[in-house]
């Protein structure tokens, strides 16, 4: 079962990807994690990716797909995987499809966690993070015991730059320009499944499970 997660930043697709991975005993494959692992382990692909990243450049699609295929060729992926964070553009999706076809494989489901922009801006604007221990909270859905203070280590909580409304709006604009066309791309292939991401995360997960069976 090979699954791609789609959805705007803050739609909760990462959380759903982890829950799917746990329930169906397949790895949650996040491109960010793979890059970090390859760079940390000093692999040949990691060194190539680091050269681009050190210059502040995006890693080319072909190299990203190579790193991804290297990861999904590992033993733990033999029954499938959940891809989170890739593909982000049509060219990336095409490179991935071509590479999987050459291996006699294909993506089974592209699951879009659908959340309107306004919900995402409100949702992310309510996030608070502890820069010391990494714990995250939400002023409405997961508030700390004491307002503005981390439950774990007692440090002051902050609204990260990434979560400020103007930054979120910029990220959403990029998403609509680059990533949203993937929804139509996978719909034409007949593998797109949409779920309502505005409901409770357990209800979102239940909807995904009813699709996956």
Provide φ and ψ at 200, rounded to 5°.
-55, 145
Write out the two tokens for 130: 């502890």
Please say whether the beta carbons of 182 and 110 come within 8 A: yes
Rounded to 10 degrees, the C-alpha dihedral 80/22/61/175 comes to: 130
Q: Are strands 192-196 and 109-114 parallel, antiparallel or unpaired?
A: parallel
3-state secondary structure 57-78: CCCCHHHHHHHHHHHHCCHHHC
Catalytic residues: 13, 88, 127, 160, 171
Task: Specify the residue for token string 């930043």.
Answer: 9
Cis status, amide bond into 87, omega within 30 of 0: yes
| Residue 192 to residue 76: CA distance in whole angstroms | 25
What is the enclosing helix (H) or strand (E) of 105?
A: none
Distances (CA, A) of 55 to 31, 39, 61, 84, 209: 19, 15, 16, 25, 42
């Amino acid at each position: 079962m090979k699954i791609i997660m789609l959805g705007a930043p803050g739609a909760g697709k990462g959380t759903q990807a982890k829950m799917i991975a746990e329930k169906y005993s397949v790895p949650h494959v996040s491109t960010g994690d793979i890059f970090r692992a390859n760079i940390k382990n000093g692999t040949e692909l990691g060194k190539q990716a680091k050269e681009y990243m050190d210059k502040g450049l995006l890693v080319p699609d072909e190299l990203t797909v190579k790193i991804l295929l290297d990861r999904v060729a590992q033993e733990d992926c033999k029954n499938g995987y959940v891809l989170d964070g890739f593909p982000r553009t049509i060219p990336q999706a095409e490179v991935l499809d071509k590479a999987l076809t050459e291996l006699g494989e294909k993506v089974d489901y592209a699951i879009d966690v659908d959340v309107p922009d306004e919900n995402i801006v409100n949702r992310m604007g309510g996030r608070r993070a502890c820069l010391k221990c990494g714990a995250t909270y939400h002023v409405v859905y997961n508030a700390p015991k004491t307002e503005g203070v981390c439950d774990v280590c007692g440090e002051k909580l902050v609204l990260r730059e990434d979560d400020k409304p103007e930054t979120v709006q910029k990220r959403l604009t990029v998403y609509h320009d680059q990533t949203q066309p993937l929804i139509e791309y996978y719909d034409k292939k007949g593998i797109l499944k949409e779920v309502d991401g505005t409901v409770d995360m357990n209800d979102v997960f239940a909807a995904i499970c009813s699709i996956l069976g």
